[in-house]
Amino acid sequence: MRKRSKGTHRALYETSYSVVSLDPYKVKPQGVGQIARDFKTKFGFGGDGIWFDSTEIRLDQDGIHLAGECFHGRISNLKGSYGSPNDDFVAINADDCLTRLQNLDLINGAIGDIVIEGLRSEYCHSFLRLLSVDHPVTDVKAKGLHGGCKAFAINLDGARYCKVGTRLIKRTEKRYYRGSGAVEGVKVEDVKVISLGKQRGLILVETDVRDFVVEGLEIAPLYTSTPALALRYTAPCTVTATDADGRALLYRKGKRGKVILPSAAYRKIEIEKSDRRFTFPLDTGDCPRYNENIDILWAGKPDRR
């Protein structure tokens, strides 16, 4: 446990867990099983068969938390008991507030080529978070999100609703309402969740996305007013939803407005490319290059270009 600092955000928490059990930095490709709880700043990594069971429920207890500059990750077979983890089961955060106690030692940067399979929790806060504001998140594949969640099955809110002083986008910025971040090449399959909280949407999209697909969505919401999908604060895009009977519904979002899909089962939900070209304050290069030849990485010979 880290005592509160004398600097920024000291009033938020009297005491705070760093949320890091293992803290490798710029290591060679590796695999960790049974004991890992947090991976960050790695190039080629894996985690399998991890059980989360917290005796003390605290704020910001993520399960697996990926910060900037994480590439070629394989995460599978994660399980959580009731109330665990008490935040994001898997957080893929290319951007975050780095002055918070929980985020000490983290960095911001691009994230790419992450494969997740098998997330099961009796009652977690959210299953999957994709956080991008100034750096891209690309090529994320997830399959088998099962169980109960208090907030979201998939969350792309751009950290708009974090505590005051830790938000990454100010309401006075144009991009708060017109689109920020970039999440590209995401496919999530086999989502069977019970919504145990009343939220804006079980899948919340408030980040610019390209080629974003959810297949096999089944929800049993405790609050039937919680939509299956809520999309707003993004650049213009097109949403295609195929319901359980195979009927395709087309929605077009302009510069303003939003898209809401009612709570129901969907065979497929697809958000197609926005009209706006993704740009970032920092030059992160061509993201697809991070997805070349994973076998070379696992052989201990990472691409050093």
pLDDT 10s digits, 231-264: 999 888 899 999 988 999 999 887 778 899 988 8
Neighbours of 87 (CB within 10 A): 21
Contact 117, 142 (CB under 8 A): yes
Distances (CA, A) of 126 to 69, 174, 280: 23, 28, 27
- The b-or-e profile of 268-281 (16+ CB within 10 A means b, else e) is bbbbebbeeebeee
Residues 6+ apart with CB under 8 A from 249: 240, 241, 242, 243
CA 35 to chain centre: 22
Inter-CA distances, 141 with 74, 132, 246, Å: 10, 16, 23
* DSSP string across 15-82: EE----S----SPPSEEEESS-----S-EEEEEEEEEE--SS--TT--SEEE-SSEEEEEEEEEEEEE
Domain boundaries, the chain: 26-276
Residue count of the chain, please give it: 305
Residues 188 and 203: beta-carbon distance below 8 Å: no
User: What residue ranges of the chain have pLDDT lower than 70?
Assistant: 1-49, 51-62, 86, 99-105, 164-165, 221, 223-224, 273-305
Report the pLDDT value the prediction gives residue 252, as an integer from 0 to 100. 86
Predicted local confidence at residue 103, as pLDDT? 67
The pLDDT score that the predictor gives to residue 83 is 72
pLDDT score, position 224 = 66
**Predicted structure pTM score:** 0.76
Q: Is the peptide bond before 85 cis (omega within 30 degrees of 0)?
A: yes
8 Å CB contact between 214 and 203: yes
Residues 222-235 as b/e (b if ≥16 CB within 10 A, e otherwise) read eeeebbbbbbbbbb
> Taking the CA atoms of the chain, what radius of gyration do you get in angstroms?
18
